[in-house]
Amino acid sequence: MDRRTFLHSTSAPLGAAALASLLPERAAAGSPGAPMPQAPRSDIVVIGGGAFGAWTALSLREMGHTVTLVDVYGPGNSRATSGDETRQVRVGYGEREGYARMAHRAMDAWRAREAEFGIPLLVTTGRLEIAPDWTPALRATQSMLARFGVATEAFTADDLRRRYPQMGFDGIGVGLLEPGAGVVRAKQAILAAADAFRRKGGTLTIQRAAPGRAEGGRLVDLALADGSRLAAQQFVFACGPWLPKVFPELLGRRIHVPKRDVLYFGVPAGDTRFAPPALPNFSESAYYGFPSIDGRGVKVCPTNGPDNWDPDTDERMVDPMQVRRARAYLARRFPALAAQPITETRVCQLENTDDEHFIVDRHPAYANVLIAGGGSGHAFKHGPVLGEYVARRAVGDATDPAFDAMVRLAR
């Protein structure tokens, strides 16, 4: 029975004995022919419970597989890139049609999951992109959204000043609004997806995992930090910014991990001009941000920061230089906020590939290991659809070949 047949035959969870009889015979590393020590077995293990892993684990479980999700600090933890409070959802993607299509599907998927989970995850805010003039990327976004039937509004500088009097438009000539875009409560969404995974019969393990023993071009098990082993037929490594640590030779130079400071500025007392629906998400070359959601303050994110961030050990303190830069930006774009106090800060990290495409591909040394990551600052919005995509790749189901090629390792 090949891997594909095996996985399809497990659409209903198998008993441990039946499952064991389907697993290949194996020998312990270092002692050929010796029986493997007993270890719990699972069809598929997903390592990492962020936007990639939590949704993949849930999708696999919903497809009927026996799934264990392993996360070193727990899904939605504050070190994870997906553990921040909020993330933007939008369809506009410049010329990158593959991601625009996925983001478009994700909008419906988010609403369906929000209804299923019974908690408010989405806030529709709109997204306003501003620039000195029309750029090819802005034009591409406008025409792509038109093709997908997604509403947009285009503005001149005068339109912008009339529509958003709380903003300053110094140096800005045009704007493009995607009114259906919004913000998802990110940490809540990951916690809810992990909770649904458990309720539907998935197993969650809080442990650091590393690739364990290998045999015949396949990974046999994981080595967990407590000294135990976890064997499976398939493994999905969705370790976000930790991927270069897990596979240093393969990914150490392919995924970079820069720090990002996220600042929330208070709004003046009794002032509703900086919350939705008055203010949308805003974006321009060096900054982007969100209106005040849940009374948190206006979120401002400078799009630079030091490289080589360590998500395990580095302290999550914002750089005073970024505060000064953000205040200078506010003075220009949101003059009423320039002297407001900071109400919250977050420190996050990216897991960037050089071309900002994700990586979803087989590990070249292990036929049963799928790597899923390289979110490059834009994966969260795709979560519910991305998880289904990665799940299908993990079990060998058909997917879109053009998208597969875009996210392959060797590119």
Interface residues toward ligand FAD, by CB under 6 A: 47-53, 70-73, 77, 80-82, 87-88, 208-209, 238-242, 246, 260, 262, 301, 348-351, 373, 375, 377-381
Q: Hey, what amino acid is at 269? A: A
Q: To the nearest whole angstrom, how small is the minimum distance from the Cβ of residue 370 to ligand FAD?
A: 13
Between strands 174-178 and 153-156, the pairing is antiparallel
Of 82 and 368, the one with the shorter C-beta distance to ligand FAD is: 82
Q: To the nearest whole angstrom, how small is the minimum distance from the Cβ of residue 59 to ligand FAD?
A: 14
Q: To the nearest whole angstrom, how small is the minimum distance from the Cβ of residue 15 to ligand FAD?
A: 27
Q: Hey, what amino acid is at 122? A: L
Residues 6+ apart with CB under 8 A from 385: 102, 105, 106, 109
Of 14 and 100, the one with the shorter C-beta distance to ligand FAD is: 100
Of 3 and 198, the one with the shorter C-beta distance to ligand FAD is: 198
| Chain Cα centroid distance, residue 308 | 19
Nearest CA to 220 among 84, 74, 33, 25? 25
Q: To the nearest whole angstrom, how small is the minimum distance from the Cβ of residue 79 to ligand FAD?
A: 6
Between strands 214-215 and 153-156, the pairing is unpaired
Identify the helix (H) or strand (E) that includes residue 196: helix 186-199
Of 271 and 319, the one with the shorter C-beta distance to ligand FAD is: 319
Mapped to the 3 state alphabet, what secondary structure does 110-168 carry? HHHHHHHHCCCCEEECCEEEEECCCCHHHHHHHHHHHHCCCCCEEEEHHHHHHHCCCCC
Quick check: bond before 277 cis, omega within 30?
yes
Q: To the nearest whole angstrom, how small is the minimum distance from the Cβ of residue 242 to ligand FAD?
A: 3
Of 14 and 47, the one with the shorter C-beta distance to ligand FAD is: 47
Q: Which phi-psi region, left, alpha or beta, contains residue 126 (left: φ > 0; alpha: ψ -120 to 50)?
A: left
- Backbone φ and ψ for 195, nearest 5 degrees, come out as -65, -45
Of 92 and 241, the one with the shorter C-beta distance to ligand FAD is: 241
Q: To the nearest whole angstrom, how small is the minimum distance from the Cβ of residue 88 to ligand FAD?
A: 3
DSSP code at position 84: S
Of 95 and 312, the one with the shorter C-beta distance to ligand FAD is: 312
Q: To the nearest whole angstrom, how small is the minimum distance from the Cβ of residue 105 to ligand FAD?
A: 14
326-362 as b/e: b if 16+ CB within 10 A: bbebbeebbeebeebeeeeebbbbbbbbeeebbbbbe
